[in-house]
Structure formats: C-alpha cells, structure tokens
Amino acid sequence: MNAIGFQLLATDGRARHGRLSTPHRTFETPAFMPVGTQATVKGVTPNQLAELGADIVLGNTYHLTLRPGDERIAELGGLHKFMAWDGAILTDSGGFQVFSLADLRKMTDDAVVFRSHIDGRLLELTPERVIRIQENLGSDIAMCLDECPAGAADSDVMREAVRRTIVWAERCRAAHRRPDQALFAIVQGGTDVGLRIACAAALVKMDFPGYALGGFSVGETEAQMLAALAPSADVLPADKPRYLMGVGRPIDLLNGIAAGIDMFDCVMPTRNARNASVFTAGGPLRLRNARHQRDGGPIESDCDCYTCRHFSRAYLHHLFAADEMLGPTLLTMHNLAYYLRLMRQARAAIAEKRFATFREACLATWTVGST
C-alpha cells in the first residue's frame, strides 16, 4: 500500500506543477502548509482554514509530545480528530528543535535528550521514538529525525550532521510500520552543495516516498541559500515530492518553486499577523502605522478573503490599538489567503509555461520595507 501518490502535471524550467494524494486529501502543488505546531494554526478555526483553501497543515512532534502527549492524542482518535481537521497533516520530527533548543539538549548518535522548555523535565528522542510518536499522531506524512546545524557551522560540524542524519534516516526507515503514513527523509548539508548531494544520494538509495531540504534559513545569507537550493533539488527523484522546510518569505517561495520545490511551510504569515503586519501584492504593510487609522479601504482591493471583504484598514488599525484579539485573527486570515493565492497563481503560471514572467512581475511589485 502506498500512503501517498504524486503525479507531475506540468513543468516550466525547474518549476513543477503536481498533484499529491494522501489518505485525507488530494491537493495540487506547489503548496503552502500553514503551521499548526501545537495542533492549532494560531488564531483561526479549522473551518476557517478550509474556507481559505488550505489542504494540509503542519504539526510538531516535539511540542505535541510535551503536551498533551502523543499517547493521549492516539487514545482520543489521532491528530485529525483531536484538532477537528479533515485535510492532510504533515508532522515535523522535532529535528529543528535540535537546532533551536541547542542550549537545552544533549545529542549523540543514540538520541537527543532535551530539557523541556516548559517545565525542565527530560525528554529523550531517538529515531525509533520519533517514528512511534508520529504513528500515534496519525499524520499523513511523517518526517525522519535529522540534525539541523546552524548555517555558520564549520565544515567538520556540518559533515558530522550529515553523517548522523543519514544514520538516523536508516533507523527511522527500519522503525516505520504504519502503511497509511508516508515517511519523508531530510537532506542536510548547509550551503555546501557537495555535502548536500552526498546526503541526498545516500537517502535516495533508501527509496523514501518523499524528500525534504532542511537546514536552510538558519543563519546563511539569501545568496548562499539560492546557490545551494537548485543543485540540491536537482538530485532528488523527479517523481517524488520535494519539501523545503521552514523557509517562507514570499520571495523565498517563488525562488523555491523556481528551483523545483513542491511544498513549503513557515510561521511567517501567522506570526507577522499577530504583530499587525500583512502581505500584499505591493509589499508588506504595518497596520499599526498612523497612516492607516482613517483609511476606509481594505488591505487589498482585489483580495476576496473574509477580512478584505468586510473590514477596512482603519478598523484593523483600531483593533490593534485597542489590543483586541480579533485583530490577529483577521490578519492571519488575510496573510494565509495571500500565501495560498500565491501558490494557486504559481501553479497556473507553470501550467501555462509563464512562471519566469510571473515571478519577475511579482518581484517587481513587491516593495522593500513596510508602510
């Protein structure tokens, strides 16, 4: 039984338009996954997510293990039922926390041992336990445990991270048993293209149903990421989905698509919304700024999201000035609508063999900075 199926519908240069089927939802790629780290996309309901056009969301192994616990979620019917989401779910393995919580963990080939950032208790993550947790969660797509080094790590540290990532991928592959869940491997190597290619080659030999590029947006420059992205994607199988982890400015999404990436996630649209910042076709806006307090127009006149159909910039400015919780919710809805619309437009451009022109037009209209 294949847990997922992937079909390429069109290509335009390296850019790919595909269709990914999972047990809970079939959707087209390139696709953006809203981040629901702790079984919720902050500020919006599952019904609102569906109305925005989201097909797949991301949850996190480390955070869900700490609370409420993967076994409790399994007892309650799995993550889909627990969070009342009938679309697809991808769960991150906790590998990014190996990087982001470096001060709270100890790592060996056997395991990563964390001190909980919540209460200080110890949590041990082995490749086998990471798989068991994700099988308890019941996500459609699970991720191998990997080591994500900082972008500025020296070559010895980077090589060791690649070696450990490959070893852990082998152990994850051997431990994985759930036939209705696809397991993706993660390619590491920083901005060293040679290391990336070697890591990918080792993982491709294991024949995973999909592959991710991890270890980007962890301190390297944009130019360094761009230089490594396309060569790294090129060595992955053309008939399997490719996922760029945690990289999510609009320009990054288009650059990723141009490099042959199919799936993206990032907290940026939801996090920025909570700070009164929105994305538009003309660049970002900061709705706390005084210039918006008498503006009776929507965030974007041609956006059909709930927020833009019903509320003015002046009202949204007021909500943040008054510290009303509705403000972050409404801006989250708009930002997610913007990201999901950008993906739809990219898919159409690829199908019509005009992606390069589309990308250039977007870059030309996005302004630098916020207003």
Render pLDDT for 244-280 as a digit per residue (tens, 0 to 9). Answer: 999 989 999 999 999 999 999 999 999 999 999 999 9
Q: Which CB contacts under 8 angstroms, 24+ apart, belong to 267-270?
A: 267/35, 267/37, 269/34, 269/332, 269/335, 269/336, 269/338, 269/339, 270/34, 270/35, 270/41, 270/42, 270/43, 270/332, 270/335, 270/336
- The domain defined by 5-266 carries CATH number 3.20.20.105: yes
- 57 bridge partner residues: 89
Which of 292-306 are b and which e, b meaning 16 or more Cβ less than 10 Å from the residue's Cβ? beeeeebbbeebebb
Could you tell me the pLDDT band of residue 139, with boundaries at 50, 70 and 90? very high
Could you tell me the pLDDT band of residue 369, with boundaries at 50, 70 and 90? very low
Q: φ, ψ for residue 168 (rounded to 5)?
A: -65, -35
pTM: 0.96
Contacts of 227 by beta carbon, 8 Å cutoff, 6+ apart: 191, 193
Contacts of 47 by beta carbon, 8 Å cutoff, 6+ apart: none
Q: Do residues 44 and 36 lie in contact, with contact meaning Cβ atoms separated by under 8 Å? A: no
Burial tier of 154 (Cβ tally within 10 Å: 0-12, 13-18, 19+): exposed
- 183 bridge partner residues: 142
Confidence at residue 1, expressed as pLDDT on a 0 to 100 scale: 57
Domain range annotation of the chain: 5-266, 273-363
Could you tell me the pLDDT band of residue 368, with boundaries at 50, 70 and 90? low
Confidence at residue 152, expressed as pLDDT on a 0 to 100 scale: 83
Q: Give catalytic residues, as residue numbers.
A: 92, 265
Digit-coded pLDDT (tens) for 290-303 = 999 999 999 999 99
Print the SS3 string covering 213-265: ECCCCCCCCHHHHHHHHHHHHHCCCCCCCEEECCCCCHHHHHHHHHCCCCEEE
Would you give the end-to-end CA distance of the chain in angstroms? 52
